[in-house]
Amino acid sequence: MATLVLLRHGESVWNAEGLFTGWVDVDLSEKGEAEATNGGDLLLDNDIVPDVVHTSVLKRAIRTANIALDVADLLWIPVRRTWRLNERHYGALQGKNKAQTREEYGEEQFKIWRRSYDTPPPPIADNDPLSQVGDLRYAGLPSELIPRTECLSDVVDRMLPYWYDAIVPDLAAGKTVLVAAHGNSLRGLVKHLDGISDAEIAGLNIPTGIPLVYELDHDFAPLKRGGEYLDPEAAKAAIEAVKNQGTATAKA
Ligand SMILES: O=C(O)[C@@H](CO)OP(=O)(O)O
């Protein structure tokens, strides 16, 4: 048996402002830092001691992991970072306001861009200031691997090689593995773990800063479908808030 802990970064500044973020390297808000601290407290309270952490190359996930691990006095554990755990690239929607996008293009199109499995938003131009094509952290990648937009299915395709090649070997070695990543890269991983259909995954949202724990069997399949949030009540409310982003019921 192996333990896998999934942690979505705390609220980012653009989450708070209601903007599509994707691969733009936005920092945590003050609330996001507090959520990361709470995530560390939850690990501590539940005696969960990660042996290794895997993060994306975006600072909201990196800082969330650091803050949570600092709380648990585990800043020293080995860390690996990969673009394959990055948030879904939101294409030309990066930096756009969610509520305004919904108003401009309508509820149906907004939902398709946000949560359909296989329809990506329009691509971002390489010369757009919010494109990642010239970003130093991706300089080692062939240009065709740097997304100009992605749907969730694209995320699953680029995330799974890392799951099999880097995370599974840690789990196989009996390590407790912490993965600090993003709403949509974690949706892709949960889809894979729980065997969720392409249609069903549209209804699944991941809250910020609340560790989701999976106990896995010898074949790296969950003992309990859906895993367990360390604070299920808070997770419920936060999931609802993510779902409602950009709609009239959203707070911001
Ligand atoms: O903007 C984004 O990159 C993501 C996560 O914050 O948003 P959404 O939940 O709308 O897919």
The tens digit of pLDDT for each residue in 121-160 reads 999 999 999 999 999 999 999 999 999 999 999 999 999 9
CATH of 2-243, one of 3.30.70.1520, 3.40.50.1240, 3.40.50.720, 2.40.128.120: 3.40.50.1240
* pLDDT (tens digit per residue) in 71-86: 999 999 999 999 999 9
Q: What is the pTM of this model?
A: 0.96
Mean pLDDT of 185-189: 98
pLDDT at 252 over 50: no
CA of 183 to the centre of ligand 1 (A): 6
Which candidate in 35, 54, 87, 182 is catalytic?
Answer: 87
Mean pLDDT of 17-25: 98
Structure tokens that stand for 56 in this block: 């994306």
Decide: 204 and 6 in contact? Cβ < 8 Å.
Answer: no
Structure tokens that stand for 218 in this block: 């010898």
| Residue-level pLDDT at 1 | 84
Decide: 211 and 230 in contact? Cβ < 8 Å.
Answer: yes
Report the alpha-carbon distance of residue 188 to residue 84 in Å, rounded.
11
Query: Could you tell me which residues are annotated as the binding site?
Result: 8-15, 21-22, 60, 87-90, 98, 114-115, 183-184
Domain ranges, ordered by start, for the chain: 2-243
Please give the C-alpha separations between residue 224 and each of 89, 93, 194, 216, 221, in angstroms, as whole numbers: 30, 36, 9, 8, 9
pLDDT at 210 over 70: yes
Name residue 215's beta-bridge partners: 3
